[in-house]
Amino acid sequence: MKGPHFAALHPLFESFATSLATHNDDIAERAVTLGALAHGTARHVAKASRLPEYPQEITRDLEHAALLADRIETTSPACASRAAPPSAMPTSTPWTCSPG
């Protein structure tokens, strides 16, 4: 990723990835506790995903931010409606979204 907003967006993307990994782990643990299987291999996730393929040729910072926002809206419209635009996000606060 490169561009004039790299320094501001990089910590945001990093905190988003960390928060998402924690959330996914919590969901998998709950599923297993309830007797389900938690399929977590990259192959299974890719096969089951409803998201469009991520374009590998994208390098610009704001293009990545727009693609992330599109994917948040696709997977969680309630979160997307409450999320601040990247320019308004403090870089020291992890991205989180909870129901309600």
Distance separating alpha carbons of residues 61 and 49, to the nearest angstrom: 24
Number of domain units in the chain = 1
- Residue 100, pLDDT > 70, answer no
Q: 92 or 47: which carries more pLDDT confidence?
A: 47
- Domain of residue 80 covers 58-84
The owner of tokens 């299974």 is 44
Q: What is the pLDDT of residue 81?
A: 53
Check if the beta carbon of residue 72 is closer than 8 Å to that of residue 79.
yes
In a domain, 68, yes or no: yes
Q: What are the pLDDT digits (tens) for 32-83?
A: 999 999 888 889 988 988 888 889 999 999 999 999 888 888 877 655 555 5
In a domain, 80, yes or no: yes
Torsion of CA 23, 35, 49, 54, to 10 degrees: 40
In a domain, 76, yes or no: yes
In a domain, 52, yes or no: no
In a domain, 5, yes or no: no
- Over range 14-26, report the average pLDDT: 90
Q: State pTM to two decimals.
A: 0.63
In a domain, 65, yes or no: yes
